[in-house]
Amino acid sequence: MIAIENEVSETIARLRFAKSYLAFVKAAIPLGLMYEPLCLHAQQAAIEAIKAVLIYAGIDFSRKRIIGSLIKLLPSDLPYLDYFDIAPNLRTFKADISYPTDKGIVDEKEFRETLQIAEAIVAWADAIINPPAKKE
């Protein structure tokens, strides 16, 4: 019983973090803020949302951190988002921040695309974990 309670607790916590990352990213962008940190948080939102669903489904993801590896673990009976085909191609924003160069500066278009993917994945996870009540 305790294991199940811990899984529910971790599922809810990860989904809360995913939503929090999104809220941070969607807040007003101050002048001078680079898009890379925002993209990193959007990507983290998607990763946490997928991890929440994996925990909800009882699947061990062995602390994987790469979005493509996590998507491959999703059960086939869950609804599939087209964004799952695109998400693994997102650049590794953590590396961009840890090892900055001028080579691949993120522009607003890439930021908006990353945010759109993250929003869709978080909404998908929320619908699985917190399905709407059925009308009788």
pLDDT tens string 41-90: 999 999 999 999 999 999 999 877 788 889 999 999 999 999 898 888 77
Question: Of 47, 80, 49, 81, whose CA–CA distance to 64 is shortest?
Answer: 47
Query: Are 47 and 67 contacting, i.e. CB atoms less than 8 angstroms apart?
Result: yes
Q: How many domains does the chain have?
A: 1
Rounded mean pLDDT of the chain? Answer: 84
Question: Of 105, 112, 72, whose CA–CA distance to 88 is shortest?
Answer: 72
Q: Which helix (H) or strand (E) holds 15?
A: helix 2-26
pLDDT of residue 2: 42
The reply to whether 16 falls in a domain is: yes
CATH code assigned at 124 = 1.20.120.330
pTM of the model: 0.84
pLDDT of residue 3: 46
Domain interval for residue 55: 2-129
Classify burial at 54, counting beta carbons within 10 Å of its beta carbon; exposed 0-12, middle 13-18, buried 19 or more: buried
